[in-house]
Structure 1
Amino acid sequence: MTDGLIVPPGAGRKFVTKAQEVTFKVTGDHSRTGSLFEVLVPPGFDVGAHVHTRSEEIFYVLEGELELLAFEPGQRTSKDWRSWRGAGDRRPVRAGAGSCMFVPPGCPHAFTNPTDTPARMLFLSAPAPDHERYFEELLEMWSNETADEAAVMNLREKYDIQQITPLRYDAR
C-alpha cells in the first residue's frame, strides 16, 4: 500500500528570487502524471507567450488578478501578446480569484500581473517533472543574477518551451 501526501499551508520546497516565488507542492517524486506549484506572481511579471509541444497546464488564480491568454491568434507577433486577437475576436482575459485556465499541448498561452499587488496561483503541469527542473534552473539563474535573455531562451528551449514573446519583469 502506498501513502498519499498532505502538504500544509506554507509548506513545500520554496524558491524565492527578486522576480518570482515558486513553492513545489507535488513533484515528480510524488506523482507520475503531474507537478503542482504555488506561484506568487509579482506586479510587472510577464511570462511571455509560449507553446509546449508535449505538456499541458492548468492555472488557477487563488488571489489577485492576472491577465491570461490561451488561444491561437490570427497572427503571432513577437512584441506583445496582450494585443493578440483570435477567432471570434477572442482576446486575453483579466482573471480574478477562482478563475481557471487550461492549456493543451500546442496552444499559445501567457500570463502577466498588470496590477500593483502580487497575485497567487496554483499551477499544474503534466507530465512531471519537466517544469520542476526548468523552475529549479531558472530560479538558480535569477538568484545568481546571471539570467540574460539568451540564457533564459536556451533554458526554455531545453524544456520544450518555445518562446513567442519575451519573458519580462518590470519591478514596480
Structure 2
Amino acid sequence: MSGLILPPGQGRKLVTRAQEVTFKATQAHGSSISIFEVLVPPGFDVGAHVHDHSQEFFYVLEGELDLLGFEPTERTDEAWHDWESPSGDRVIRAAEGSCMFIPPGTPHAFRNATEKPARMLFQCYPSPDHEYYFEEIAEIWAAGETVDPAAVERMRRRYDVSQLTPLRFDPPARLNPQSATAKGA
C-alpha cells in the first residue's frame, strides 16, 4: 500500500461558474475522509445547512471567509449572517489560518463577502458523500444560466444536506457586471 503525494495545484478539478473544487484525497485513494481544496469566489454564499451524519472541517488557506458554526437562538429563512447563539456566539470573519470543525447536527455556513477570492481546505467524513455532491452540483451548474431548484433539492436529500438558507452567488458588480444569483442552488 502506498500513500498519496500531490504537488501544489494537483488533483482532480471541478470548475463551475460558482466554485473551483480540487479533489485531494478521496474514497478512490482509500481515504475514509474526503479532502478538497476549494476556491471560493467573491460573492459566493453556501447558505446555512446541516448534516445529520457528516462531520466537516474547514481551514482558511488564503483570503477571508465569514463562518457560522452553531445553532442560533432563531433560524431565519433568507440569511444566516446575523444569527446569534444562546451563549452570544456570532458569525466571524475568518482570516488565513482560521479553522472550523462541525459535528453532525450543527448548522453551518461560509461565504466570501470580500472582493478577493479565498481558498480553503475542506474535509468531510464519511467519504464519499461530498465527492458525489460536488460532482452532481457541478453538473447542475453546467446545465445552463438558471439552476433548477427541484433538482438541487433532490440532490441534497441524497447527500445528507438539509438547506436552511439559500445558496447564493452574487459576484460584486464591478468584478462581474453580469451578476448571477443562484437562489435555491
Same structural fold, with TM-score higher than 0.5 when normalized by the shorter chain: yes
- Map of 1:136 onto structure 2: 135
The alpha-carbon deviation at position 32 of structure 1 amounts to: 4.0
Q: How far apart, CA to CA, are the structure 1 residues paired with 2:133 and 2:39?
A: 17
- Map of 1:56 onto structure 2: 55
Does residue 8 of the first structure (1) align with residue 7 of the second (2)? yes
- Map of 2:150 onto structure 1: 150
**TM-score where L is the length of structure 1:** 0.96
Contact (CA 8 Å) 1:32, 1:127: kept in 2 or not? no
Identity of matched residues, %: 61
1:103-139 residue CA offsets vs partner (Å, 9 max, x unmatched): 0000000000000010000000000000000000001
| Matched residue type, 2:6 | V
Contact (CA 8 Å) 2:18, 2:169: kept in 1 or not? yes
Gaps of 5+ in 2: 173-185
Question: Paired residues, what number?
Answer: 171
SS at match of 2:10: coil
Q: How far apart, CA to CA, are the structure 1 residues paired with 2:75 and 2:150?
A: 21
**TM-score where L is the length of structure 2:** 0.90
Contact (CA 8 Å) 1:61, 1:95: kept in 2 or not? yes
| Matched residue type, 1:152 | V
Contact (CA 8 Å) 2:60, 2:121: kept in 1 or not? yes
| Matched residue type, 2:170 | D
The alpha-carbon deviation at position 155 of structure 1 amounts to: 1.1
Contact (CA 8 Å) 2:43, 2:114: kept in 1 or not? yes
Root-mean-square deviation (CA, aligned residues, Å) is 1.0
Gaps of 5+ in 1: none
